[in-house]
Every structure is written in structure tokens, then in C-alpha cells.
Structure 1
Amino acid sequence: MKRLVYFFTSILIVAFVILGIAFKMNQNGGNTAGNTLTIYNWGDYIDPDLIKKFEKETKIHVSYQTFDSNEAMMTKIEQGGTNFDLIVPSDYTISKMKKANLLEKLDQSKVPNIKYLDKHFVNLSYDEGNHYSIPYFWGTVGILYNSEMLNGMKIKSWKDLYQPELKHEIMLVDGSREVMGMGLNTLGYSLNDVNHQHLQEAKRKLQELMPNVKAIVGDEIKLMIENNESSVGVVWSGEAANIVQENPALDYVIPSEGTNLWFDTMAIPKSAKNKEAAYKFMNFMLDPKNAAINAEYVGYSTPVAAAMKYLPKEVANDKRFYPNLNNTKGLEVYDDLGKKNLSYYNELYLQLKMSKR
């Protein structure tokens, strides 16, 4: 009988322990003792060693999850039921998420390393005062090309892509804002132009380019150019940074007519369960040494000015990826165009893609 009582008592003790753990996990959105930071970021967009370093320094466990588009990330947060503590949206998405009341207003006193940011990367149009976001990486949209495959040809502008020698040579990144932006810039219009007549002009101009376009694809562009399967690609600067340093035949150019200046940012959703850990991570990533390590690993440009001295000189002095931003003429950040205008962009872009088939 004593053994039976002891057996049932043991079961009750174990049950209460399990219930206690479950209660704590529920309180913390699945995070035991509030000691987990859940990050939602783009794939392969951080040096894994930095996550280990952060965990070691803070004793906070990091759960790292990834998304492949701003729209997918925002939809997931809008639907609720998530426990992401830190997210990495692009500039125009910050504007949209602010309007949708999805973001926590930042307490900048908890991110003292914000002082190390380059002055050009604070107080931008998508988040004046940086009340909701802090820059993570930045870059441009430009042209990556192989001069050897083009017999020494130099490309400096969007207009250069229309040369007949480039027939069936160009790979375009699959993005309506990027491709329509090319057409708008070529004609001297703003990347954020919503005038329907101008957008129709841009579409017609891009249709003239289609004989030179080999394909409209995603992340494959970098690999195809590395493998000499194509000689020209319209890409984000970070996609070009590593490979141009390894292959002297490759070059990356910021088109003379102008292009997109983009930012990916760190932000805290209102639904975050561990906001204090998110602040600590933001501050950690803004540490100049950590920012330099991350930039060297990922290949994109760091917004932390004080990190430049920790980067290799050939990287820090490369004006293709760290251009002089005192003269930002022609470099524009994407505005949130609103659903109606964005739908029109997408409609024209889809027509353009269909015409290529």
C-alpha cells in the first residue's frame, strides 16, 4: 500500500512540475523563463558566430527563423499568434507596418550604440527620427557585368543596357519596383512616380529592352554570372560585393541616371514577448566590431560609420559599395506607394513579364 501511495504521489509531483513549466512557457510565448529571443530575418543574413557570441555574453538563447519576402513577413505578423521579438523589414515595409500599428515605438535610451550610425542613415523618409526602426544593412540596385565576356565593353548607365551587342545577355531581378524603377530612371523620372502616363512610358521603354533580356529570375543571377552563363545582371549591391572582389573580370556599377538606395532595418513588433532582449540584440549589432564582422560575412554595406575602420581597406574604400553619400543625387529610397498605386506597378510589370515569354 505504501508503495502504491508513493507511486501516485510521485506521479502528482511530476504532473505539477510539468504544469508549472508549461505555465511559464505560455507566459513567455513559448520561451522558457523569458530567456529566449526570437528573431525573424532574411535567410543567410547574419554571421552565425555573432549569434553564438550574443548568447555567450547575455545568456539569452536565440531562436532564428527566416522569411523570403517583406510581404510574407508582414502578413504573418498581421495574422497574429507569433512571438517574434525582432524583425528585419525593408524601408518601405516600415512605413506600411507603422500605418498598420504593428510596430513598437523604440526607447532609444536602450540602444546607446545608435550613436555609431552614419549620419546619412538616420532620420530617413520611411521613419523620420528612427522612432520605429534602426538600419541593419543598406545598398543600391545596380548592374553587375563581366567585361571579358563583353570584349572589354564598359557599362555605366541603364541606357547602356539597350545596346544591340547585349542581345539575350541580361538577367533581371524579379521585382516590380526594381524593374519598373529601371524604366522610370532611364526616362529621368522618380522611382516613386505614380503618374500613369509616366509609368506607361516606362513600360514601353522596358519593352524595348526585352530582346536583350535572357531571363527574369531571383537569386540565381549571382550564380549564373559566376558560372559565365550570363554576362550582365541587374542585382542588389550585396549580391555583387563578394564576387567582384574574387573575379577581376566582374564589375558592379551604380547607373548614372540614378537608382534605388535601400535599407533593411531592425524593428520590434508590438506582439513581441521579449522586448528587452530585442533591445540588447539591436545594441549588440550596432557595436562597431560586431557590425564589421557581420558586413564582411554577409557582403552588404554596414550603416555603422565606426565599423569602417575594422573592415579590410579594400572593402571600406570600394566606392561601388560605399559610395560618397554627400552627393546622393539620383539615389532614392522607395516610398510606400499605397495599395492602389502598387497594384498598378505590379499590373504593368506582369504584362512586361508575360511579353517576355
Structure 2
Amino acid sequence: MRKIITSIMAILMVILILFGTQRYLSSKTGTNVSSDKVLNLYNWGDYIDPALLKKFTKETGYRVSYETFDSNEAMYTKIKQGGTSYDLAVPSDYMIQKMKREKLLLPIDHSKLTGIGNYDNRFLNQSFDKNNRYSLPYFWGTLGIIYNDKYVNAKDIQHWDDLWSPQFKNQIMLVDSARDGLAIPLITQNKSVNDKSRADLAAAQAKLRTLMPNIKAIVADEIKMYMAQNEASIAVTYSGEAAEALSNNKHLHYIVPSEGSNLWFDNIVMPKTAKHKAAAYAFLNFISEPKNAAQNAEYIGYATPNKKAVALLPKAIRDDKQFYPSNQTVSHLQVYDDLGQTWTERYNDAFLEFKMTQR
């Protein structure tokens, strides 16, 4: 009897181990898988169509372990610590520059890429990664202004300086970001958004302080919800956030001031600890295919840098100048550089001092 019980226990243990292994390999949220037939992807939350992950697995045989982060800084810290081996990650422009400088990234072998020719040249060879040696563009967008036509006339809010109009007292929601908040007065004063002059930064802070009477709130992700619910007349935020707000309120519109703004990128990189390079290149090629990139752009709502994918999007999307602006508008946009620790702290301090003046 003991032998029979022992045999049954052994069989049960095998079943449990096999079941546990299957769950482990199939996880797409928060599991760093070590199997050779897997891709460990580190990305922002809800930043890819889940159907594409299933399609990738079906086409290539690589299971996807999908972990998420909520800020570039959190992503950077985890990768720098090195305790987890990600095959691909999706940082923003300035963070790519920082990670590259600190040797946290592997160069990308362009000879293994099959779809790099699908990308719009305007979004390649950016200052943060010349010749795209370490990254491929994933999504891009702008910093701009949302306004509600129930309360604001379009002609009254076309430029950054319009935000200072007395008619908008206590009506503006401002994104809670030092770089974005200070970029606005810097641009209005014909300065670079990457300015490293103490005098220029002080002047930008002083001008931003005079905007405070018009500020209703300084918030982050909640902006899209508040604007969709008619909680404010105007907001300064990112194009992707604006797209979601506009989809929930027909009275909302998004503009990028013609004098310039921020052009941001989220690019795919290969961390130096990547263990599954074949899977990584398979995914880079998969997501570069126009059909897949177009499907992803429709799901996420952000602008795709894949020019062949843009051609596959519905006409209403690809012709929407709010989110696919003209070449002339793009030519006036500026990409954030990594300012280094000292200047990053100065920008953060200047914005914090501004926030402290809020009523």
C-alpha cells in the first residue's frame, strides 16, 4: 500500500510540476521567463495590443513575458540593478541617451532587421540615438493644448502665449512635469527646451509663475478624464492622452502651437542583460511589419513612426493633423535631451518652486 501511495504521490508531483511550468511559461504579466523560446518584454502599461502578443507567439513560437513600468526612472533603476534580464524595453528619448551613456544597452545589428526601411526618415537618426544604433522608434507624439469648444473659441487658443490670457483665469489644467512645464515659457522666449543657462531658466520660471492665476490644477494622468468630463476649459498634455480624451468628448480639440513644442519618442532598446537575442530580433521585425504597426497604432491611439503603417490606417486617423501634424509643424518641434543630473535637478527645483505658489 505504501508503494502504491508513493507512486500516486510521484505522479501527482509530476503533474503539478508540469502544470506549474506551463503557467510559468505562459505568463504575460510580471514573470521573467528563462526558457529559450521566450521574449522578456519590459514596456509601459497597456502599450501594445494584446492580440499582437498572441499573434507573435503563434507566428514565431516565442512566448511573451510582459512586465510593465510606470515611469522612465523606474524602468532605468530596475535595468541598472541588473537583477532581471529583459530582452527588450521601451524607454523615452532622453532616457535612451542616459542609458546609452551608462552602457546599459546593446547595439542593434541592422543586418538582422527586415523592416527598418518601413520607418519615416523624420523619426530616425534623432539626437538621442544617432543612426539608431541602439533603438528603433515605437511611438511618437507631441506636447500640446486641449480645449473645449463649449467654453473656448478656437481662435483664442492657437499659441502658447494665449494661455496667459486673463479670460482663462482658473481654467487650465497643466501636466505635472518639470520639463514640459518649463518648455512652454522657454519656447515663448525663443529658447531651447534643453537650455542650460541659469538666466534663461530663471526667466522661464518667472514667466511660468505669472501663469498661476489661470491654473486650475497641476495633474498627471487624470487630465484626460477631467477634460472628458468637462472639468476644465483647457489642458496642456501629451498627444496620446489628448487622443483618449477626445474620443470621449466631441467638444474637445487638440492643437500643437505653430511656434514649436516638444516632439517625444518611445523607442525599443535591447538592455545589456538580454539573454534571448533571437527572440528580440524576431519581435523587432514583427512589430516593424506595416500591418502589425498599424494594428498597434489603432489600439493604442498614439502616432506610429512606421510610414507604411500610416498608409494602412483609416483615412480619418492618418489625415488627422492633430495627431499626424504636417512636416512644417514637425520641423518646429524639439526633442528633449538628457540634461544630466545637475541640470535635471535645477529644472525640477524650478518647477517645484512654481508649484508651491499654487493657491
1:44, 1:341 → 2: CA distance? 32
| Residue in 2 that maps onto 1:47 | 49
| Residue in 2 that maps onto 1:304 | 306
Q: Where do 5+ consecutive residues of structure 2 fail to align? A: 25-30
1:86, 1:318 → 2: CA distance? 31
SS at match of 1:355: coil
Q: 1:67 aligns with which of 66, 69, 94?
A: 69
Cα shift at 1:153: 5.4
Amino acid at match of 2:313: L
With over 3 angstroms needed to count, the CA separation of the structure-2 counterparts of 1:44 and 1:4, relative to structure 1, is: closer
- 1:158/1:256 contact within 8 Å kept: no
1:147, 1:198 → 2: CA distance? 34
| Residue in 1 that maps onto 2:28 | none
Amino acid at match of 1:79: Q
SS at match of 1:356: coil
| Residue in 2 that maps onto 1:139 | 141
- 2:227/2:245 contact within 8 Å kept: no
Q: Name the stretch that deviates more: 97-106 or 152-161.
A: 152-161
Tell whether 2:197 aligns with 1:201: no
Q: Deviations over 1:200-246 (max 9, x none)?
A: 00001001100100111110001100000111111111111244356
Cα shift at 1:274: 1.2
| Residue in 1 that maps onto 2:232 | 230
RMSD: 2.6
Amino acid at match of 2:281: Y
Amino acid at match of 2:301: G
2:333, 2:356 → 1: CA distance? 29
| Residue in 1 that maps onto 2:116 | 114
Q: Name the stretch that deviates more: 336-345 or 250-259.
A: 250-259
Amino acid at match of 2:253: D
Q: 2:273 aligns with which of 263, 271, 275?
A: 271
- 2:32/2:40 contact within 8 Å kept: no
With over 3 angstroms needed to count, the CA separation of the structure-2 counterparts of 1:153 and 1:249, relative to structure 1, is: farther
Cα shift at 1:329: 3.8
1:265, 1:207 → 2: CA distance? 33
With over 3 angstroms needed to count, the CA separation of the structure-2 counterparts of 1:43 and 1:96, relative to structure 1, is: same
Cα shift at 1:309: 1.8
Matches within 5 A, 1:82-93: 82-93=84-95
| Residue in 2 that maps onto 1:212 | 214
Cα shift at 1:186: 1.5
Cα shift at 1:355: 1.1
Cα shift at 1:7: 5.1
Matches within 5 A, 1:1-16: none
1:356, 1:40 → 2: CA distance? 36
1:234, 1:152 → 2: CA distance? 15
- 2:242/2:254 contact within 8 Å kept: yes
Amino acid at match of 2:238: W
| Residue in 2 that maps onto 1:102 | 104
Q: 2:325 aligns with which of 305, 309, 323?
A: 323
- 1:54/1:60 contact within 8 Å kept: yes
2:295, 2:345 → 1: CA distance? 39
SS at match of 1:63: strand
2:35, 2:210 → 1: CA distance? 60
SS at match of 2:35: helix
With over 3 angstroms needed to count, the CA separation of the structure-2 counterparts of 1:152 and 1:198, relative to structure 1, is: closer
Tell whether 2:186 aligns with 1:184: yes
| Residue in 2 that maps onto 1:149 | 151
Amino acid at match of 1:200: A
- 1:147/1:153 contact within 8 Å kept: no
With over 3 angstroms needed to count, the CA separation of the structure-2 counterparts of 1:132 and 1:192, relative to structure 1, is: same
Cα shift at 1:191: 0.4
- 2:228/2:246 contact within 8 Å kept: no
- 1:92/1:126 contact within 8 Å kept: yes
Amino acid at match of 1:344: R
Amino acid at match of 1:184: L
Q: Name the stretch that deviates more: 172-181 or 237-246.
A: 237-246
With over 3 angstroms needed to count, the CA separation of the structure-2 counterparts of 1:73 and 1:4, relative to structure 1, is: same
Q: Where do 5+ consecutive residues of structure 1 fail to align? A: none
2:139, 2:292 → 1: CA distance? 13
With over 3 angstroms needed to count, the CA separation of the structure-2 counterparts of 1:54 and 1:187, relative to structure 1, is: same
- 1:147/1:154 contact within 8 Å kept: no
SS at match of 1:136: strand
- 1:180/1:202 contact within 8 Å kept: yes
Amino acid at match of 1:65: E
1:327, 1:222 → 2: CA distance? 23
Amino acid at match of 2:322: R
Q: Name the stretch that deviates more: 33-42 or 291-300.
A: 33-42
| Residue in 2 that maps onto 1:171 | 173
- 2:260/2:329 contact within 8 Å kept: no
Tell whether 2:274 aligns with 1:281: no
TM-score, structure 1 as length reference: 0.91
With over 3 angstroms needed to count, the CA separation of the structure-2 counterparts of 1:80 and 1:186, relative to structure 1, is: same
- 1:166/1:212 contact within 8 Å kept: yes
| Residue in 2 that maps onto 1:351 | 353
With over 3 angstroms needed to count, the CA separation of the structure-2 counterparts of 1:153 and 1:340, relative to structure 1, is: same
